Amino acid sequence: MTNMELYIATSTVRGLKPLLDTYDGVYVIQSDLATPEILTKQLQTQPHALFLDDSSVPITALWEVINKALLSGIRTFIGLYTPASQPYAEQLRGGGAKVITRPDAESVAAWIAQELGLQHKAVSREQRMLSIGVAKGGVGKTLLTTLLAEGFQRRGLQTLYLDGDPSNPGGPTTYRVSASSLSYLHLAKKGAIPVNVLQQHIIHHPSGIHLLLGADPGGDDTDLDLAAWRGLLGTVRQLPDERIVLVDTGPDYKRRPYAATVLREDGYVILPVQPGQAQTTAAINMLSHLANKVPGAERRCFIVYVEPEKGSVSKVSSARAMLESNFPGVRELGVLPRDARAVSMAGEHHHDRYVSPLDVGGKNKLVPAITTLVNDLCTAMDIMPPLSAPRSGLLQRMFGGQRAQAPETSSGGAR
């Protein structure tokens, strides 16, 4: 399919290009300035379509450029965002231009795509995306994420661990990968990422799990804006080999609403909740945030309670009662037990080698819990794992002495 060329000139609609790049059949060229000189030069290349707004100069100064575009048969889209421009809306529409007054990138991108008849790029229908979201730190979010990754991988479901908290990542430390490993940050900040380019940044870990990391020790800015994050997730959704994508997100969900973005991608959110008044209230607040951002979000949110620490007076039953009274539609998946011995043995086994907490210890309480969680999630997400659930004793006998390997963190490779 031949791509149509779309030229956009705006400094008001931030993040427009990454969203437009998720559509098929369009090649987007961007400029932050919409001056008559720049636009006149660009019109000489005869783009198929043009989007400009009044962010750089008054719309009246662009009248001649707009007329030239319309007379040349260029589909012309105009954003009017200043009060002085509003009286010209009907005149522009009468001349054949399309006009919008909403400045948010999602609305503008969807509007242009509809007018041009664009369709989103194909995504993997077999893929399931889950965000492990937290409202407060210190609840075992990264541990749960990495254990679920092991659980899915061992059921024959190729799993991708996506680091969604690049300013405070737990993945590199957990998986014992080098701090200098390839980061997706500089790619995502440039806009859309071609699938083949993103694949070169996936680390093939000895555990079989694929890693896509955002930690970038050489970078000055460790955050992605929301539009860049959406563009990244859109590309991840197109990866053909990843059956499960686990997104490890941070607690600052209002500044980085990454979990809500996963829900908009038809994904799911798992909230680990440590019993206690403050922690449970924080989880309720996050669920309220998600419900406000994404209609029907509670139907695709799951709760996993974390066993209270020894000596704690907080009870799972109390947290459950609070959550059920506020969000009765959110499904509970169970309780993640604490097994400090297994976690400690795995963490201290070798300082430079990854060992899964599922593979150490005698009577490991984590193995049956993760097996049950993976089973329930597969049922909820309507996905059939190729391999049956192993018995915990057999699992540890098979893998207990074989997983302590130094990771070869090569990028790319055979898929």
Give domain status of residue 321, yes or no: yes
Give domain status of residue 410, yes or no: no
At 264, the pLDDT band (50, 70, 90 cuts) reads: confident
Burial of 252 (0-12, 13-18, 19+ CB in 10 A): middle
Q: Yes or no: say if 346 and 357 are a contact pair by the CB < 8 Å rule.
A: yes
Kindly state the DSSP code that residue 62 receives in the 8-state scheme: G
Give domain status of residue 186, yes or no: yes
Count of CA atoms in the C-beta half-sphere (13 A) of 44: 5
Work out the angle at residue 316's Cα, subtended by the Cα atoms of residues 311 and 320, and round it to the nearest 5 degrees.
Answer: 155
Alpha carbon of 134 to those of 280, 281, 322, 403: distances in Å?
11, 12, 17, 29
Share of the chain above pLDDT 90, in %: 32
Task: Please check the confidence at residue 124 and state whether its pLDDT lies above 70.
Answer: no
Q: Which residue has the tokens 């589909």?
A: 75
Q: What does the pLDDT read at residue 97?
A: 94
Same domain for 144 and 184, yes or no, is yes
Provide the angle, in degrees to the nearest 10, between the axes of the packed helices 277-293 and 316-326: 30
Report the 10 Å Cβ neighbour count for 153.
23
Return the H-helix or E-strand segment holding 130. Answer: strand 128-132
Give domain status of residue 227, yes or no: yes
Average pLDDT rounded to a whole number, residues 372-397 = 78
For residue 163 the two structure tokens come to: 């680091």
Q: Yes or no: say if 105 and 14 are a contact pair by the CB < 8 Å rule.
A: yes
Same domain for 100 and 134, yes or no, is no
How far is 257 from 228, CA to CA, in rounded Å? 12
Same domain for 95 and 158, yes or no, is no
Q: Please give the tally of structural domains in the chain.
A: 2
How far is 154 from 147, CA to CA, in rounded Å? 11
Same domain for 215 and 86, yes or no, is no
Give domain status of residue 413, yes or no: no
Q: What does the pLDDT read at residue 406?
A: 32
Report the chain's terminal Cα–Cα distance, integer Å: 26
Boundary (domain end) residue, out of 74, 93, 116: 116
Same domain for 22 and 92, yes or no, is yes
Smallest Cα–Cα separation from 302: which of 276, 267, 337?
Answer: 267
Strand, coil or helix: 187: helix
Give domain status of residue 406, yes or no: no
Boundary (domain end) residue, out of 74, 89, 116: 116
CATH code of the domain covering residue 242: 3.40.50.300
Q: What does the pLDDT read at residue 38?
A: 82
Sign of the CA dihedral running 282, 285, 290, 293? negative
List all residues 6 or more positions away from 174 whose beta carbon is below 8 Å from its beta carbon. 142, 143, 146, 354
Same domain for 173 and 104, yes or no, is no
How far is 316 from 319, CA to CA, in rounded Å? 5
Q: Which residue has the higher pLDDT, 20 or 410?
A: 20
Q: Which amino acid is at 100?
A: I
Same domain for 112 and 168, yes or no, is no
Same domain for 214 and 312, yes or no, is yes
Report the 10 Å Cβ neighbour count for 74.
18
Same domain for 303 and 340, yes or no, is yes
Residues 62-78: tens digit of each pLDDT:
899 999 999 999 999 99
Give the residue numbers spanning the domain of 188.
Answer: 128-399
Boundary (domain end) residue, out of 62, 90, 116: 116
Q: What does the pLDDT read at residue 180?
A: 66
Contacts 24+ apart (CB under 8 A), 80-84: 80/53, 80/54, 81/12, 81/53, 81/54, 81/55, 82/54, 82/58, 84/54, 84/58, 84/59
Model confidence, pTM? 0.69
Work out the angle at residue 171's Cα, subtended by the Cα atoms of residues 166 and 174, and round it to the nearest 5 degrees.
Answer: 150
Give domain status of residue 404, yes or no: no
Return the H-helix or E-strand segment holding 214. Answer: none
Task: Please check the confidence at residue 363 and state whether its pLDDT lies above 50.
Answer: yes
Same domain for 134 and 94, yes or no, is no
Smallest Cα–Cα separation from 306: which of 360, 373, 352, 240?
Answer: 373
CATH code of the domain covering residue 16: 3.40.50.2300
Q: What does the pLDDT read at residue 179?
A: 63
Give domain status of residue 122, yes or no: no
Count of CA atoms in the C-beta half-sphere (13 A) of 349: 25
Count of CA atoms in the C-beta half-sphere (13 A) of 191: 13
